[in-house]
Amino acid sequence: MATTALERRRAQVDDKEVRTMHAAVVHDFAEPLRLEEVPIPVPGAGEIVVRIEASGLCHTDIHAAHGDWPVKPTLPFTPGHEGVGIVEQVGLGVTEVALGDRVAVPWLGYACGTCEYCVSGWETLCLEQKNMGYSIDGSFADYVKAYGRYVVRVPDGIDPIDAAPLTCAGVTTYKAIKVAGTRPSDLVAVFGVGGLGHLAIQYAAIAGGRVVAVDVLDEKLELAEELGAEFVVNASRRDPVEAIRELGGVDQAIALAVSPASFGQAYASLRRGGTLVFVALPAENHMELPIFETVLNGITVVGSIVGTRVDLREVFELHAAGKTRVIRETRPFAEVNEAIADVEAGNVPARIVFTPEDAS
Ligand SMILES: [Zn+2]
Ligand SMILES: [Zn+2]
């Protein structure tokens, strides 16, 4: 009797020789993720397998699961690019990490290592890059396979549940502040105080900036003040451009909110010589940019995409030194679909971090 590929796979899973794990798998962009039992990956040359202790939920995972972006992931796949855990298997030729190390498995899962971008500190722009939870199965699983060269060791003393959000939200906002060029005494506007914004405020302050936080929820603005924002503006009650202009305008504005209006507000709140940094990816892909004012006021508009391994090491160094606070809540990994619904509804204080069933 002929067997189908699915029956063969099931037989393989039933076989005691094959160790299995749980993974949250996207089979259809219009359906919820499915929790499935699948074989634990086996590392090839240059690869490692990491037992996941914590995995953050980023908005990009939701876009991936819905197939929202022009280049869609190939189905089926497992999202997750804020995975933190312990190296349990090491493939041939891996020298960067060893068994037992705690590592972070970020969005930049692989880059070529030899192109102009890779050798000049811009590996995040490599055209050959592969991304965790998008073109490589990600960390919404008990184990994840990764390239040993592209994971980053998590220093001792950092809680893996803090390390997870730092692996994308942290490194992305840290890099955005670097790209913004914030210097002591600069005034920096952070538009959107969520999973990214609450960290951006802290990195801007570490760089010496004075921070104006803009959001539409009072509780998020209270959090912003706790984390070092000197000024806050509730954009649902007051025009943030007017409020920021009263302060003399900002040297840098970091656009982290997906509301299309906030991009125009961020631009308009700049003082002469100011820089607008694009980070959030709203569904509406365009904004109007006045050429005359941009030229005469010497405005810079720049995009910033995640960060490099060096950036992530620095993010961990700052956290290990007690310089940053990560606002997050943990959920069992089995509640991935409920968590996505809560993030979409805006019911989440900062970052959701999934933990395996047996973790406390
Ligand atoms: Zn992310
Ligand atoms: Zn490259």
Q: What percentage of the chain has pLDDT greater than the value 70?
A: 94
CA 287 to centroid of ligand 1, rounded, Å: 23
pLDDT at 324 over 80: yes
CA distance 8 to 12: 6
- Specify the 3-state DSSP secondary structure of 80: coil
Angle subtended by helix axes 171-180 and 309-320, to nearest 10? 100
79-88, 258-267, 346-355: least confident range: 346-355
Q: Which residue has the higher pLDDT, 349 or 39?
A: 39
Rounded to the nearest 5 percent, the helix, strand and coil shares of the chain are 30, 25, 40
CA atoms within 13 A on the CB side of 64: 28
CA 10 to centroid of ligand 1, rounded, Å: 33
Q: What percentage of the chain has pLDDT greater than the value 90?
A: 88
CA 58 to centroid of ligand 1, rounded, Å: 5
Residue 283, pLDDT score: 79
CA 279 to centroid of ligand 2, rounded, Å: 22
Taking only Cα atoms into account, the Rg of the chain, rounded to an integer number of angstroms, comes to 21
- Specify the 3-state DSSP secondary structure of 241: helix
Residue 14, pLDDT score: 55
Q: pLDDT digits over 129-139, tens only?
A: 999 999 999 99
Q: pLDDT digits over 193-209, tens only?
A: 999 999 999 999 999 99
CA 252 to centroid of ligand 1, rounded, Å: 22
Instruction: Scan for tokens 């670097």, then name that residue.
Output: 178
CA 4 to centroid of ligand 1, rounded, Å: 37
CA 351 to centroid of ligand 1, rounded, Å: 11
Residue 344, phi-psi category: left (phi > 0), alpha (psi -120 to 50), beta (remainder): alpha
What band does 259 get if pLDDT is binned at 50, 70 and 90? confident
Q: Phi and psi (nearest 5°) for 256?
A: -115, -10
**Cβ-based neighbours of 177, under 8 Å, separated by 6 or more:** 188, 200, 203, 204, 207, 209, 254
**Cβ-based neighbours of 131, under 8 Å, separated by 6 or more:** 81, 107, 108, 109
CA distance 179 to 305: 10
Summary mean pLDDT of the chain: 94
Whether the CA torsion 267, 269, 270, 271 is positive or negative: it is positive
Residue 360, pLDDT score: 40
CA 122 to centroid of ligand 2, rounded, Å: 8
**Cβ-based neighbours of 190, under 8 Å, separated by 6 or more:** 197, 200, 201, 204, 211, 212, 213, 214, 224, 229, 254, 256
CA atoms within 13 A on the CB side of 8: 5
Q: Which ligand is nearest to the CA of 60?
A: 1
pLDDT at 2 over 80: no
Q: Phi and psi (nearest 5°) for 343?
A: -65, -40
CA 131 to centroid of ligand 2, rounded, Å: 13
What band does 146 get if pLDDT is binned at 50, 70 and 90? very high
Q: Which ligand is nearest to the CA of 62?
A: 1
CA 290 to centroid of ligand 1, rounded, Å: 30
Section 213-229 average pLDDT: 96
Cis peptide before 76 (omega within 30 of 0): yes
CA 116 to centroid of ligand 2, rounded, Å: 7
**Cβ-based neighbours of 283, under 8 Å, separated by 6 or more:** 68, 258
Contact 106, 124 (CB under 8 A): no
Counting every residue written for the chain, the total comes to: 360
CA 115 to centroid of ligand 2, rounded, Å: 4
Instruction: Scan for tokens 């962009």, then name that residue.
Output: 29
Tokens of 63: 């876009």
CA 19 to centroid of ligand 2, rounded, Å: 34
pLDDT at 166 over 60: yes
CA 79 to centroid of ligand 2, rounded, Å: 23
The DSSP bridge partners found for residue 34 are 25
Q: Which ligand is nearest to the CA of 121?
A: 2
pLDDT at 212 over 80: yes
Tokens of 320: 């290990």
Please name which of 95, 102, 62 lies closest in space to residue 81, comparing C-alpha atoms: 62
Contact 182, 188 (CB under 8 A): yes
What band does 258 get if pLDDT is binned at 50, 70 and 90? confident
The DSSP bridge partners found for residue 303 are 278
What band does 350 get if pLDDT is binned at 50, 70 and 90? confident
9-18, 90-99, 308-317: least confident range: 9-18
Q: pLDDT digits over 5-30, tens only?
A: 555 555 555 555 789 999 999 999 99
CA 267 to centroid of ligand 1, rounded, Å: 24
